[in-house]
Amino acid sequence: MLTMADATSLLLTGGRVIDPASGFDGVADVLLTNGKIAAVGKDVPADAARTTSRIDVKGLIVSPGLIDLHVHLREPGQSAKETMATGTAAAARGGFTSVVCMPNTSPAIDNAGTVALIRERAAREGVVNVFVTGAISKGIAGEELAPIGSLKQAGVVAITDDGHCVQNNDLMRRALEYAKMFDLPVMDHCQDYSMVTDGVMHEGYWSTALGLRGWPATGEEMIVARNILLAELTGTRVHCQHLSSAGSVALLREAKKRGVPISGEACPHHFVLTDATIAGSAKFWAEDGRKLFEYEPKDRPVWPNYDTNFKMNPPLRSAKDREAILEGLADGTIEILASDHAPHCDYEKEVEFDYAPFGITGLETELALCLMQLHHTKRLSLPDLIRKFTVAPAELLRLEKGTLRVGADADVTVIDPDAVWTFTREESASKSSNSPFYGWPLKGRAVLTIVGGKIVSDERATRERAKPLAARAA
């Protein structure tokens, strides 16, 4: 449900304000005026009573607007999957006030003209802030560097060949050296093609049992190790996208101890699901899903085996890998949470597992799954969780976002961490419906998403504090 408030001033009263950038955590009012944070504190006076609308957010969390730094908006060229309007509407519904879009569009975002086109379209049709990444290599082909200087001038916030991975180590080294000159972080989808070849799921027990070609964890770890070495050699910050394996977490943890400028992100599907899901829901709930979220048997979602909505790249891995990702998030090795929102049309996904494209949508379920698997399980405090969605991505990409400091942009997300709801195809704002999480009982959601002082998503009416899941929480 999208509503646009046109008041010039908005006062959020009585919420628990958590701003990890400044270390603030306490009950306070937040006044938003003319698109900026005007005041944060106790009993903030409404400055212009007539134009200020008040919203009572008692019992809710007031967070800096959430940032998702890994989103595929599919424009230009793939608007059958998603558009600027639908992708940013899904972001708003998920609580995200800023998204960072990936350059593997058609054509790829590898030149200043395409960057300008997307920024112009985002300003016109987007309901949240859209930041653009440029490609590392021309056409994301991994052979020749893209014009990194002119991409930077056109306004990209990072470079990445996401969806693909530069295989030539010398080309990657030169990309890092150029990126350093232009003060741009480099993000990388870590996949060694010679190891992975045409693998479609995690190489392990289930790939053998199901007769599907394996995508070994080593195929990711090789490139994580390569990136650590090159980050150390060049001094350029490298960010490893969507980490999925225990080995990657161990490599990152060790490198960070030595002060290597390396970082990583994790996506909810990799720390909620495992490769057993591809054997069907009965197998998953009987084994790797047994203790997940303490669902009652009647609450447990059902899906068939070989369901292509469990096919993504990197793939869902073993329970041991899932646990290592959770540990990496808890101890700070992995600083950033992201969705890798990757919409695809039904006709593309409704084929045999081998032939379906990799990827799932994620913007609308991401916050709930993170709250369930990190906050409700007590692995992370709320401020530490919110940090991974706000100040951490803002610092990596040097965005003037991710804080509630007075004078900052009035991007705010109001969260009910205990709201119980079910994600459905019908209510989704995304143009695509390739999510594995339809029908899942979820706990926690964004109630209000505010961009530049304007409400772009309002779920207050549908908010429901149902008891069953809440009562079972540890």
Question: Residues with catalytic annotation?
Answer: 340
Question: How many Å separate Cα 77 from the centre of its chain?
Answer: 22
Q: What's the min distance (Å) between Cβ of 162 and Zn ion? A: 4
The residues, ordered by sequence, that sit 6+ positions from 52 with a Cβ below 8 Å of its Cβ are 7, 9, 10, 11, 31, 46
Under the binding rule (CB under 5 A), the answer on residue 459 touching Zn ion is: no
Kindly tell me which of 53 and 78 has the beta carbon lying closer to Zn ion: 78
Give least dist CB 313 to Zn ion, A.
6
Other residues' Cβ atoms within 10 Å of the Cβ of residue 225 = 18
CB-nearer residue toward Zn ion: 93 or 189: 189
Distance CA 283, CA 281 (A): 6
Note whether 162 binds Zn ion by CB under 5 A. Answer: yes
Sign for the CA dihedral angle at 289, 293, 294, 299 comes to negative
Q: Which is nearer to Zn ion, 19 or 366 (CB)?
A: 366
Per the CB < 8 A criterion, the answer to whether 398 and 416 are in contact is no
Length of the chain: 474
- Cα separations in angstroms, 272 against 284, 351, 371, 373: 11, 25, 11, 7
Count the helix, strand and coil residues of the chain and give each as a percent rounded to the nearest 5: 35, 20, 45
Taking the complex as a whole, the smallest distance from the CB of residue 241 to Zn ion amounts, in Å, to 5
Going through 247-403 in order, the beta strands assigned E by DSSP cover 262-266, 336-337
Window of 119-127, 162-170, 405-413, 414-422 that interacts with Zn ion by CB under 5 A: 162-170
Shortest distance, position 424 Cβ to Zn ion, whole Å: 27
3-class secondary-structure state, position 67: strand
The smaller minimum CB distance to Zn ion, of residues 231 and 267, is found at 267
CB of 29 to Zn ion, least distance (A): 41
Write the binding mask 240 to 279 for Zn ion: x where contact by CB under 5 A, - elsewhere: ----------------------------------------
CA 472 – CA 23 distance, rounded (Å): 31
Piece in contact with Zn ion (CB under 5 A), picked from 145-153, 156-164, 405-413, 453-461? 156-164
The contacts of residue 11 (CB under 8 Å, 6+ apart) are 29, 30, 31, 32, 44, 46, 52, 53, 54, 55
**DSSP H or E run through 285:** helix 281-286
Nearer to Zn ion, 162 or 220 (CB): 162
Query: Which span sits near Zn ion by CB under 5 A: 36-44, 160-168, 322-330, 426-434?
Result: 160-168
User: How many residues bind Zn ion, per CB under 5 A?
Assistant: 2
10 versus 157: smaller Cβ distance to Zn ion:
157
- Contact pattern for Zn ion over residues 417 through 446, marking x by CB under 5 A: ------------------------------
181-200: which residues touch Zn ion (CB under 5 A)?
189
Q: How far is CA 42 from the centre of its chain?
A: 32
CA distance 312 to 358: 4
Identify any residues that bridge with 413 across adjacent strands, giving them in sequence order. 63, 449
- H or E element in which residue 370 lies: helix 366-370
Q: Which stretch binds Zn ion (CB under 5 A): 158-166, 200-208, 286-294, 458-466?
A: 158-166
Determine the 3-state secondary structure of 313 from DSSP.
Answer: coil
* Whole-angstrom distance, CA of residue 43 vs CA of residue 304: 54
Choose the stretch contacting Zn ion; rule: CB under 5 A; options: 154-162, 209-217, 253-261, 355-363.
154-162
Minimum CB distance to Zn ion smaller for 220 or for 416 = 220
- Least CB distance to Zn ion at residue 191 (A): 8
For Zn ion, give the closer residue by CB, 74 or 189. 189
Cα–Cα distances in Å, from 424 out to 301, 402, 421, 430, 436? Answer: 12, 29, 9, 11, 11
> Residue with the closest Cβ to Zn ion?
189
Whole-angstrom distance, CA of residue 24 vs CA of residue 18? 6
**For residues 336-355, which are near Zn ion according to CB under 5 A?**
none
Q: What spatial distance separates the first Cα and last Cα of the chain, rounded to whole Å?
A: 32
In angstroms, the CA 60 to CA 393 distance is 23
Q: Using CB under 5 A, which of the segments 157-165, 194-202, 348-356, 466-474 binds Zn ion?
A: 157-165
Min dist CB 189 to Zn ion, Å, is: 4
Shortest distance in whole angstroms from residue 396 CB to Zn ion = 16
Does 220 help bind Zn ion (rule: CB under 5 A)?
Answer: no
Question: What is the binding site for Zn ion (CB under 5 A)?
Answer: 162, 189
